[in-house]
């Protein structure tokens, strides 16, 4: 009698588990190259971020050197820093294209 109960529980377990496994989404591949294009864009964005970050760091260094020297005013040093950052942004736009 006990083996009948175990058999029924086993069959019930299998009956409930199989549809869940069959219905569960399987790993597949897209039929388009959208994933590849997305990965390419992601790489381009990272390159643009790196370019802007380098430009910011260069602007900081340039501004500190400018302030250390006595030949330019603070506003001229600040403008040079802004110009350097703007140039880096332009380069970053070119990287993304």
The SS3 of residue 69 is: coil
Dihedral in degrees, nearest 10, Cα atoms 48, 61, 84, 81: 130
Closest by CA to 53, choosing from 22, 15, 95, is 95
Least confident of 32-36, 59-63, 71-75, 84-88: 32-36
Q: What is the pTM of this model?
A: 0.54
Task: Quote the CA–CA distance of 5 and 10 in Å, as a whole number.
Answer: 9
Residue with tokens 């591949």: 29
Put residue 69 in one of left, alpha, beta given phi > 0 → left and psi -120 to 50 → alpha.
Answer: beta
30-51 pLDDT, tens digit per residue, is 566 777 777 777 877 888 899 9
């Amino acid at each position: 009698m006990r083996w009948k109960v175990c058999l029924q529980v086993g069959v019930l377990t299998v009956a409930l588990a199989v549809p869940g496994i069959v219905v569960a989404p399987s790993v597949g591949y897209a039929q388009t190259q959208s994933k590849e294009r997305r990965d390419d864009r992601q790489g381009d964005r990272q390159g643009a971020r790196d370019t802007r970050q380098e430009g910011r760091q260069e602007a900081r260094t340039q501004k500190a050197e400018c302030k250390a020297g006595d030949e330019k005013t603070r506003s001229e040093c600040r403008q040079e820093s802004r110009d350097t950052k703007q140039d880096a942004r332009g380069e970053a736009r070119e990287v993304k294209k």
